[in-house]
Amino acid sequence: METDIFYNQKDVAEAYLRFRPKYSEEVAKVVLEYLRNQQDNPDATKKFDFMVDVGCGSGQATDLLSAHFNKIVGVDICEEQIRLATEQNTHQHITYLVGKAEELNVAEQSVDLITCGSSIHWSDLPKFFDEVKRVLKPSGCFTEFGYWFSEVHPVGDKNDDLIKVTNDLLAKLIYLGPNHDAEREKQVRGSVYGDHFYQSIPFTKTKHKSLILTKIWSIDQLRGFFRSSAKYHELLKRKKSIREWFADVLLDNQDDYNLLEALIKKVERIWDLKPEHETKLQVKFEVNIFLFTKKGT
């Protein structure tokens, strides 16, 4: 898959580790409470045995739940992501492995929890769900959570009209893009927003919770976030489409590969930001958590 190659590049993997937002403890709390409630004799003081984080990337979601399991395996198809995750790993009970979501090297009915943090849309869903059924314990659970870029504005300056202009501009860059695959967009959005993804899961559907994740970023952090996106780099390969979609942003003689810088300048003009000052941005992500149990399946 072309995206596998993209995320397997050293500079991209390092940008992903540095600039992608980390999930909050509130996400961990929701997941653990749900998992405990599926057990016959729930005990809040006892650790669970085994968790597998599928599509773990550089380990952001893996580390989030590290204190609550005796053993954790993070799996990702990209070797460079696994290399960084291993380098960053400070836990003896966590192991990172290169592997496919559809072919987990895990024994049948051995896993308490399978997690996917912003990664399930890269999987072959029917094959992956078969694998989830195979490895989960009878009381095991599966959770998928993902974030969707929601809002950005300077700290202390909240103008709804300018927020909409900015959001529309940046969302076009990272999520939609010219000549995008409509079915793929539906799958990506569904994995975060719910209806399409939620209805496709072949497990007992029992919980869906939404949270807001707020970060305070510099302009450079916002720039890094977009550079870590596969969608942005796909856009750079479509020069004609870039010209059509971003005619109001790019100058006639501007290099298409300066698209991101042109967009950043546009955002600075929208908000009348002064380049000589380090502006802090409030960036919000909508986080959706889907929780499923193997019971009754």
CATH number reported for the structural domain that contains residue 152 in this entry: 3.40.50.150
**pTM for this one?**
0.85
- Return the higher-pLDDT residue of 122 and 79: 79
Find the angle CA(207)-CA(94)-CA(9) to the nearest 5 degrees: 90
**Does residue 52 have a pLDDT over 60?**
yes
Domain that holds residue 259: 2-293
> How confident is residue 206, by pLDDT bands cut at 50, 70 and 90?
confident
Six token digits for residue 167? 């959001």
Cα dist from 16 to 221, 223, 225, 228, 272, whole Å: 11, 12, 8, 5, 29
Six token digits for residue 226? 């977009």
3-state secondary structure of 187: helix
User: Under a CB-based contact definition with an 8 Å cutoff, are residues 237 and 179 in contact?
Assistant: no
Q: Which positions ≥6 away from 239 have C-beta within 8 Å?
A: 256
Region of poorest pLDDT, from 118-122, 183-187, 218-222: 183-187
Six token digits for residue 206? 């029992």
**Count of domains in the chain?**
1
Identity of the amino acid at 81: Q
Euclidean distance between CA atoms 83 and 99, whole angstroms: 13
**What is the mean predicted confidence (pLDDT) over 167-179?**
63
**Does residue 192 have a pLDDT over 50?**
no
